[in-house]
Structure 1
Amino acid sequence: MSKSEISFLSGLIILLILAIFLPSIQQDQNYHNFADQRALFGVNNAFDTLSNLAFIIVGILGLFNFYNNKFIKISNSFSVILNLFFISIILTGLGSGYYHLSPNDFTLVFDRLALTLVFTFILAMLASIRISERSGFHTLAELIILAPLTVLIWNYNGNLTPYAVFQFGGIILILLTLLLTKAQKQSPCFASLIILYGFAKVTEFYDVEIFKLSQNLISGHTLKHLIGAIAVLIFISPLKVKKI
């Protein structure tokens, strides 16, 4: 194994150790109380629910372009991961939409399961491009089991720590990998993804405040969904085949 492969694998192992041994975190039930609870055409929490259509549309467009050869083919393994990434974006829209129809711990499971798959495929793409194809394959094989398991653990015993470690520790691992490895010409825009993800988390945190400032026009959580969908579009834009 190369030094970069060992370093990336070590990062994943550290996340696993932290997920196991850090103190348990419980889900705050106030999390389910979103600012915008307006219904529309019989749809509960309509704006938070329907804004997830943005993810579904982006995911479907991604698959359409993928199967019409509109993306640069970096490698066979990367193409497989990219295809799975678009599917996970669609699942995110469906899972999050289902959750916002009736926000509670049970429906949140479906939202978070989809999100763990999104993070898995992002990390696998990063490893495949910045480390090696072998590293990308191993990252995919390991996390596609371990990442959803963090949500199932929370659903089983209420311990949110493994999920939190995977999400936020994964962001740190992406940042360190970007800083410590050489950039490739043909690569998704990981930097923009991190920046927009951070912006989306800020709008999520200030859900109520944004709703009030906008005169009840749009909430921070609805903005979070729209920013997330835009982040995916910008993330994959460097992979589009350039028209001559």
Structure 2
Amino acid sequence: MNKKYLILGSLALVTFLLLVPPLAQDQQYHQFADQQTMLSIPNALNVVSNVAFFIVGLIGLIALLNQPNKYCDQNVLPSYQLFFIGLMLTFIGSSYYHLEPNNFTLVFDRLSIAISFMALFTALFGELVSLKLANKMLLPLELLGIAGVIYWGISEHLSYGDMRFYLLTQYLPLILLPIMLIKYKWQYSHQSSCIFILLFYALAKITEVYDQPIMELTNGLSGHTIKHLLSALSGYWVYWLLKNRKIKLE
């Protein structure tokens, strides 16, 4: 199928980010609603809720290691494996960040997220658009995602914070994945269920924005804590799809 939709989506975001001035990290971002200390753990629920990432990542990785030929084509197997490894790294990176939220610790949180993002995008691109490209894309996209985070971290350290490159690596997959799911046909069943990966992640971003109001509404459970759980649920949905989908018979 013509890839013009993917190209147009990519160009639109790249053009937008080139036109806007450098974007520094808002320091209010580090001021989370839930700052409770429990069992000597600062910001306890925001830290402990990251365990969900480790559990989902471990479940998915074990499944792919035990039965590597059952769940996906070998061309995208490394991408799916790296996605679940990235979730486990998110448990480490995000926990470290929430113990002491600041720009430096946020680098480690975003590095692990970038690894997962790029791996999942590569896997789905391979299955929806071109299996042959999947293996060739994985390393360059991973390096691109990591570079976006490192560049942002260095720019903040040098006092001219610029998140544009990082935002490109984060939001371009979110723009292209819906296009791919609509315009391309999957060889598996449950294609429409893939949208739940994006839906759960979108809900996670919403709860992140309403961190304080949600904590007041729930009387103790902050929006950011719920964000972690919804993001982990998005990751679990990837495992659910791998486990339950079937190859379509022509």
CA positional deviation for 1:235: 2.2
Aligned partner of 2:84 in structure 1 is: 86
Given the superposition, is the C-alpha separation of residues 92 and 168 from structure 1 closer, same or farther in structure 2, using an over 3 Å criterion? Answer: same
CA positional deviation for 1:186: 5.1
Give the conservation status (yes or no) of the 8 Å contact 1:193–1:234: yes
- Runs of 5+ consecutive residues of structure 1 not aligned to the other structure: none
Give me the whole-angstrom Cα distance separating, in 2, the residues matched to 1:138 and 1:14. Answer: 24
* Match of residue 225, structure 1, among 221, 225, 228: 228
CA deviation digits over 1:86-143, x for unaligned, max 9? 1001011110010000000000000001111111011101111001112222331321
Give me the whole-angstrom Cα distance separating, in 2, the residues matched to 1:122 and 1:17. Answer: 24
Pair 1:206 & 2:210 matched: yes
Q: What's the RMSD between the two structures over aligned residues?
A: 2.2
Give me the whole-angstrom Cα distance separating, in 1, the residues matched to 2:244 and 2:180. Answer: 26
CA positional deviation for 1:82: 1.0
* Match of residue 33, structure 2, among 27, 32, 35: 35
Aligned partner of 2:184 in structure 1 is: 181
> Number of aligned pairs?
239
Aligned partner of 2:248 in structure 1 is: none
CA positional deviation for 1:15: 5.0
CA positional deviation for 1:7: 5.7
Q: Could you tell me which amino acid in structure 1 is paired with residue 218 of structure 2?
A: S
Q: Could you tell me which amino acid in structure 1 is paired with residue 45 of structure 2?
A: F
Give the conservation status (yes or no) of the 8 Å contact 1:92–1:114: yes
Give me the whole-angstrom Cα distance separating, in 1, the residues matched to 2:232 and 2:239. Answer: 11
- Runs of 5+ consecutive residues of structure 2 not aligned to the other structure: 156-160, 246-250
Q: Could you tell me which amino acid in structure 2 is paired with residue 94 of structure 1?
A: I
Aligned partner of 1:122 in structure 2 is: 120
1:153-168 correspondence to structure 2 within 5 Å: 153-157=151-155, 158-168=161-171
Q: Could you tell me which amino acid in structure 1 is paired with residue 167 of structure 2?
A: A
* Match of residue 135, structure 2, among 134, 137, 148: 137
Give me the whole-angstrom Cα distance separating, in 2, the residues matched to 1:112 and 1:190. Answer: 24
Q: Could you tell me which amino acid in structure 2 is paired with residue 214 of structure 1?
A: T
Give me the whole-angstrom Cα distance separating, in 2, the residues matched to 1:207 and 1:214. Answer: 11
Given the superposition, is the C-alpha separation of residues 71 and 238 from structure 1 closer, same or farther in structure 2, using an over 3 Å criterion? Answer: farther
* Match of residue 48, structure 1, among 35, 46, 49: 46
Given the superposition, is the C-alpha separation of residues 81 and 91 from structure 1 closer, same or farther in structure 2, using an over 3 Å criterion? Answer: same
Runs of 4+ in 1 over 4 A off after TM superposition: 6-21, 186-189
Aligned partner of 1:190 in structure 2 is: 194
Q: TM-score, normalised by structure 1?
A: 0.89
Q: Could you tell me which amino acid in structure 1 is paired with residue 182 of structure 2?
A: L
1:44-123 correspondence to structure 2 within 5 Å: 44-69=42-67, 72-123=70-121
Three-state SS of the structure 2 residue aligned to 1:183 is coil
CA deviation digits over 1:179-204, x for unaligned, max 9? 11113315775311111111001110
Give me the whole-angstrom Cα distance separating, in 2, the residues matched to 1:241 and 1:212. Answer: 38
CA positional deviation for 1:236: 2.0
Three-state SS of the structure 2 residue aligned to 1:57 is helix
CA positional deviation for 1:16: 5.3
Q: Could you tell me which amino acid in structure 1 is paired with residue 112 of structure 2?
A: A
Give me the whole-angstrom Cα distance separating, in 1, the residues matched to 2:189 and 2:68. Answer: 14
Give the conservation status (yes or no) of the 8 Å contact 2:208–2:227: yes
Give me the whole-angstrom Cα distance separating, in 2, the residues matched to 1:21 and 1:195. Answer: 29
Of all paired residues, the percent bearing the same amino acid is 34
